[in-house]
Structure 1
């Protein structure tokens, strides 16, 4: 760890103005972002007596290797810049109230011919009615499933709907009476739209008329001795009442508010929010955070509102008219101005003093207190176990440094085809899914597992050196084409591996960053995140795999990263340059941790291998037809659904597909005449034209 004295700036160099500061570690990664009304006063507080700081703050100061600051014109600018940097750099020591998901809404697509009910996240769309937000999403799906008994509105995707139209057979929901099956003409478009309107009216709060109507029908069925229909209506009434009870009115029906509460101790804080829309509790959400600085409650409230409402355009529309908090945030005026700018309308942030809102606030506070108590009881055992496992591994492997970061590599293939590799990351004993990586392996590197392991480790640490702006030495790494480094994202926050020459242009022959092709502007950021090195590399395998990974590091002249292998057969731990394995006790926490890391890497590699294998299955007889490019192949499969149906189509039917002329249609007809049935392509998503893995 760095000594704070080594990078402490001179007091006279720090300005007295408001601004935002960043602490960086020895690898240049931003680990903490903060703002201050007076930069000199705030920064000096970190260095005056580091031993008196809170444990997490002290850990941050000793982990950092430098500090820098930016002066701004006002506290509002500092608030905006602080949030922008927290979102950009994702500092590991900052308090994080937000997660990687937007709020789920119940949406009814009234703009379609046959309106569809679905759970939606992200930006709101035109001609769609929204109800919510709901949290967790499981609650809203249970609500929809219950309501489909009474309002059997379509819920299927466009692809499923079109396939049902083409085959004349509805999906499962149509057979169990949870869909009115407009796809096969069981209901007219007008009646289905009316059904969707009734669904919306019920969700908007007009529930009594529907329940009363069903009760009247039930009485009529009993009078006619139609007890089967009466029983069905009775169950429908019970279902609607369950939905109605879940959304009990707690405030006046014109109230839209988010009600926050906090419970905290010296080290941690629990935050809870109830979302009230139309007077009803639509959802609930909670966070547990570790304090970095000695923050008071107003500071915590400021960070909470800043991060919950600053997640992006997809969440700005959900900012309600009222935000009720336990105490007013620090910098209240700037916070109000910022929230109003995001919403584009008036927002009131206040503390309820009496009445129903204050009563509901106490309920939210009780939820926060319960969450904090449960978290601390679970965390006590979890931290003890993880710390013991990491300590045991360090001692068993005789490593000089604590195992702050572990990376595990695994190779997956079927008889040497579609060779892929995975890299999973564990920091402080916990998975860091945003930094998982996937690799495609081709050419000479795919000839066996050891060559593949060498290639992957070499590529990973080559990017590490590139991220440090250190040109790698000329080693024995095999030459390979650029598209060997194809990588895809499995986790929403994952960042793909960057190709060695940084010539990434599209998915398939390079990498992606946050779901987008890497451009010149994103390459530097991606390399910087990929450049953070581990203390320990774990490979799935025995001495050959360990030797291959060690050789890759030696060729790059990296000597501060240790390599071990975990062999599946006897769960032996192999260390580089050792003739005998390290045998950990079967009940060892260290062995359990290594097994979990190895199994996670195996799962990650298998998932990618299946994706790649499914993509390779799209190769069909169409690929061999001259003049038929990818776009036209996709159009044909989208139109007909499979190669078998294309083979049975006439020239006239083929010409009906956009981009297919008479000459090309005749060529397709001739080329497919001798193709056997087993060359047919897999099923196709009719909505997107994408191939579906069988």
Structure 2
């Protein structure tokens, strides 16, 4: 660890202006971003007596190797610049509001030809409208009830394709819980309108639909059509059941997000209730590790900045930042936050602390949820953290390594009978996968002859990039006499590395040959501080360079289990990339063999559909929509793609057939 005194700037050199500062590690990576009204007061606090610092603050200042700052003209500029840098650099020591569990959303894929209603988790996707979050049981009951009135497609793409080919709908189509657009029972335009009505109902227009159905029922009764009237009555009951499931907690014109925070010295739990049209439409929670000793007001500021900043680009008309945001403590820069959020929303956003009445009572309920979430997190995290720490310590001891295994990279090679050779690199930091730093490689030429040559090529390319970035960074630092800066301008142009800092351990999928190839690649580049091991799949043996006998870890070892999970993840990532590449090359080859289809039309086809997957799934009618493709040629293309049989994928290290 670095000594903070080695890079501490002189107090007199730090300005007293408002600004944004960054701590960087020895590899030049930004590890923390913060802002301050008075940069001198804030920065000098980091270099105080180490005994007074929080554990995570202590770790951060001892990991850092330099500090930089940029002065700005106002607190609003500091807020915007801080958020921009946090989003750009993803500093590992900044507060990261991660869900304490994966919340399901009710999603409608309006970007598809036949929109689909489904339950989704994780990151939001383009062309999809989201409602929620909900609990898993409630969301499925809601969908099942609404399909009676809005029979929108819910089937997977494979089921839809099978129904289109056979001309027979799935079970839901027979029991009237799907309008069956796959077989033409409803037109594409009418089905999309049905999906729009489903979204409108979920967006809060329930009363309009219920009122319309009541009028239709009254008209059916007047015409003595009692069967239709009975069906409409049941539809009304179904819609009311969904509509009344959420109790009215505030006046119906209320649109607000209500936040509460419960924290201790090291962590904070956050809960939010989403209230729309006076009803609780969803709930969500986060737990974060604190870097600084933040007051509740400061924590609220970071929370609003991250939550609404990250989601602003993903929100649609039915999922806006609300008119009111209710918080337990008013941030010191509430006016600047309100201005920033109003700009994201497009209209006025009010930040308030409820003092009395229904809103204050609901705030107490949210606070109770935050307290319970913290208790649950503490009990669960104790087990997870202990297991990860035990696995890393066991692995470090078994391999005889001096440095803690803060970062591990694993590599795997896959191909199809010597063609389309690819490799994967997966990254684990502190025992957890870091998918943002996964990398994939295409291998060709002499490097694709066998698995050892491929492994040598991949390791060489990865660490050659690292050495090049190190040289460029050293040259940049050599051109200045100080490690911190003062600028009057806004955002400094930052460059993201293709690869982050180097790992403590490289894991390869294979035995002695693969380990020797990886070790030789590092030696040829002059890198001696990165350990290399191989995990042989047959007996799960751990091989070290130049050792005649493997390291045998107990089957119950947490260290072995960690290696297996890393290897399996690299295996999965390599296969996924390999299949994509193989499908693309195979489709291009098939297109070349179709009479009447030249290179120009092949490129036009691929450009029109956007991906190989969509081209293979296209019907003859869709193919003929492409310029230059007539019915005869379209039929030939469709038949060739349908008749193509994929060759099995093979892992080069083991010869194992991955798929048939």
Query: Is TM more than 0.5 here?
Result: yes
Instruction: Please tell me whether residue 88 in structure 1 is matched to residue 57 in structure 2.
Output: no
SS of the equivalent of 2:31 reads strand
Q: Please give the alpha-carbon distance, in whole angstroms, between the structure 1 residues aligned to 2:157 and 2:539.
A: 50
Whether contact under 8 Å (1:164, 1:183) holds in the other structure is yes
CA contact (8 A) 2:410 2:426 kept: yes
Hey, what's the Cα distance between the residues in 1 that align with 2:44 and 2:608?
68
Shift of 1:103: 10
- Does residue 553 (structure 1) correspond to residue 527 (structure 2)? The answer is no
SS in 2 for 1:445: helix
Greater shift, 276-285 or 237-246, is seen at 237-246
Residue 421 of structure 1: CA displacement?
1.4
Q: Please state whether the residue corresponding to 2:35 is helix, strand or coil.
A: strand
Equivalents in 2 of 1:349, 1:642: separation in Å? 51
Deviation, structure 1 residue 381: 1.5
CA offset at residue 80 of structure 1?
1.1
Q: Check conservation: 2:103, 2:133, Cα contact below 8 A.
A: no
CA–CA distance in structure 1, aligned partners of residues 643 and 435 of structure 2: 37
Q: Paired residue for 1:627?
A: 598
Instruction: Provide the C-alpha distance between the structure 1 equivalents of 2:541 and 2:376, rounded to a whole number of angstroms.
Output: 37
The equivalent residue for 2:436 is 434
Distance between the aligned counterparts of 1:124 and 1:635, measured in 2? 19
- 1:182-201 correspondence runs (5 A): 184=183, 186=185, 199=198
Kept in 2: contact 1:31–1:94 (CA 8 A) = yes
Q: Which has the higher contact order (CA 8 A, sep 6+)?
A: 2
Quickly say closer, same or farther: Cα 1:296–1:616, change in 2 above 3 A: same
2:147 aligns with: 148
Q: Deviations over 1:360-408 (max 9, x none)?
A: 2122112211111111101111111211221122122111211110111
CA contact (8 A) 2:108 2:115 kept: no
| Aligned CA distance change for structure 1 residues 4 and 193 (closer, same or farther; 3 Å) | closer
**1:578-612 per-position Cα deviation (integer Å, ceiling 9, x unaligned):** 22222222222211211111122112222222222
Pairing of 1:166-565 with structure 2 (within 5 A): 169-170=168-169, 173-181=172-180, 184=183, 186=185, 199=198, 202-203=201-202, 204-206=205-207, 209=211, 239-240=238-239, 242-311=241-310, 312-315=312-315, 318-469=320-471, 525-526=495-496, 528-565=497-534
CA contact (8 A) 2:210 2:236 kept: no
Contact 1:29 1:529 in 2 (8 A): no
1:146-195 CA-partner distances (Å, limit 9, x unpaired): 31122224568999989978975545542332222356554579986886
Shift of the 561–171 alpha-carbon distance from structure 1 to 2, 3 Å rule, reads same
CA deviations over 1:430-482 (Å, ceiling 9, x no partner) = 1111111122222211111111111111111111112213699xxxxxxxxxx
Change (3 A) 1:138 1:13: farther
Q: Report if aligned partners of 2:508, 2:533 keep a CA contact under 8 Å in 1.
A: yes
Distance across 1 between alignment mates of 2:392 and 2:181: 58
| Aligned 8 A contact 1:257 1:321 in 2 | yes
**Structure 2 unaligned spans of 5+:** 475-492, 647-658
1:462 aligned counterpart, secondary structure: helix
Residues 656, 297 of structure 1: CA spacing in aligned structure 2 closer, same or farther, 3 A cutoff? closer
Partner SS, residue 337 of structure 1 = helix
1:592 matched to 2:561: yes
| 1:616 corresponds to which of 585, 592, 608 | 585
1:219-260 CA distance string (max 9 Å, x none)? 99xx99x9xx98x98986775455234433222211110011
1:39-97 residue CA offsets vs partner (Å, 9 max, x unmatched)? 11111111121232100000000000000011111111111111111111100000012
Are the equivalent residues in 2 in contact too, given 1:622–1:633 (CA < 8 A)?
no
1:497 corresponding residue in structure 2: none
Helix, strand or coil: the match of 1:335?
helix
Question: Secondary structure of 1:248's match?
Answer: coil
Which residue number corresponds to residue 478 of structure 1?
Answer: none
Mapped to 1, the partners of 2:54 and 2:623 lie a distance apart of: 72
TM-superposed deviation, 1:634: 4.3
1:602 aligns to what? Answer: 571
In the aligned structure 2, how far is the partner of 1:605 from the partner of 1:642? 22
Contact 1:255 1:279 in 2 (8 A): yes
Aligned mates of 2:47, 2:552 — CA distance in 1? 45
| Corresponding residue SS for 1:44 | helix
Write the distance in 1 (CA, Å) between the matches of 2:407 and 2:335: 42
Residue in 1 that maps onto 2:97: 97
CA distance in 1, matches of 2:303, 2:161: 45
Q: Is the 8 A contact 2:114 2:153 kept in 1?
A: yes
Task: Please tell me whether residue 573 in structure 1 is matched to residue 542 in structure 2.
Answer: yes
Distance (whole Å) between structure 2 residues aligned to residue 114 and residue 450 of structure 1? 47
The answer to whether the 8 Å contact 1:273/1:284 transfers is yes
Moved more, 329-338 or 190-199: 190-199
Q: C-alpha root-mean-square deviation of aligned residues, in Å?
A: 4.6
Q: Could you tell me whether the CA contact under 8 Å between 1:445 and 1:452 is conserved in 2? A: yes
